[in-house]
């Protein structure tokens, strides 16, 4: 059974600035607290990260996985799906960056769905979900707003 999480937040920066930070995979280790290594394995036709390998340390364990990113026709949306991992059977999700306040601010919409290879107790899943959401939203917000003019 899949575990799902969705979250929204507002960031004091343009959607383009948010998208730029979210697609700068090589910089994730500077601001995403649990991400220890990132390697863009393949780029898409437009030069954005296509297949991206991660090593993440969380809850006393290190895990590796590779995600395939897609950008579609909406220039401010990105989605991903698992192509390889050592503890997850499936992970997919998306970010969408929506202009608010005449484009000076951004609403970030985040969704993720995960299937683990081994079932986890409820309290462990809730803790992991909280860490994932914190990194996906609060760490992203802090990084974007620290760089915004």
> Which is more confidently placed, 23 or 149?
23
What is the pLDDT, as a whole number, of residue 121?
55
Mean pLDDT, residues 42-62 taken together: 89
pLDDT at site 114: 82
Mean pLDDT score of the chain, rounded to an integer? 86
Instruction: Enumerate residues 6+ apart whose C-beta is below 8 A from 144.
Output: 11, 13, 17, 18, 21
What pLDDT, on the 0 to 100 scale, is given for residue 73? 74
| Residues spanned by the domain of 60 | 3-147
Phi, psi (5° rounding) for residue 8?
A: -135, 145
Q: Are strands 61-70 and 77-85 parallel, antiparallel or unpaired?
A: antiparallel
Q: CA 144, 105, 107, 95: dihedral to nearest 10 degrees?
A: -40
Rounded Cα distance between 91 and 82, Å, is: 5
Question: What does the buried/exposed string (b/e) look like for 68-107 if buried means 16 or more CB atoms within 10 Å of the residue's CB?
Answer: bbebeeeebbbbbebeebeeeeebbbbbbbbeeeeeebbb
Given this model, what pLDDT does residue 82 score?
A: 95
Any bridge partners for residue 105, and if so which? 100
Evaluate if residue 1 carries a pLDDT over 50. Answer: no
Q: What is the DSSP letter of 103?
A: G
pLDDT tens profile 65-112: 999 999 977 778 999 999 999 887 888 999 999 999 888 899 999 998
Domain count for the chain, please give it: 1
For 118-147, the pLDDT digits (tens) are 666 554 556 555 566 666 788 899 999 998
Q: For 61-71, what is each residue's pLDDT tens digit?
A: 788 999 999 99
| pLDDT recorded at residue 131 | 62
Nearest CA to 115 out of 90, 133, 138 is that of 90
């Amino acid at each position: 059974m899949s575990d799902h999480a969705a979250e929204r937040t507002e960031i004091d920066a343009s959607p383009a600035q948010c998208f730029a930070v979210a697609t700068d995979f090589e910089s994730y280790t500077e601001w995403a607290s649990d991400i220890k290594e990132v390697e863009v394995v393949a780029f898409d036709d437009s030069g954005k990260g296509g297949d991206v390998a991660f090593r993440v340390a969380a809850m006393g364990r290190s895990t590796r996985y590779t995600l395939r990113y897609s950008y579609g026709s909406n220039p401010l949306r990105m989605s991903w799906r698992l192509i390889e991992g050592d503890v997850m059977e499936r992970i997919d999700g998306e970010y969408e960056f929506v202009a608010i306040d005449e484009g000076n601010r951004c609403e970030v919409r985040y969704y993720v769905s995960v299937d683990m290879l081994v079932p986890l107790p409820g309290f462990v899943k809730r803790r992991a979900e909280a860490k994932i959401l914190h990194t996906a939203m609060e760490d992203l917000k802090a990084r974007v707003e620290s760089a915004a003019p």
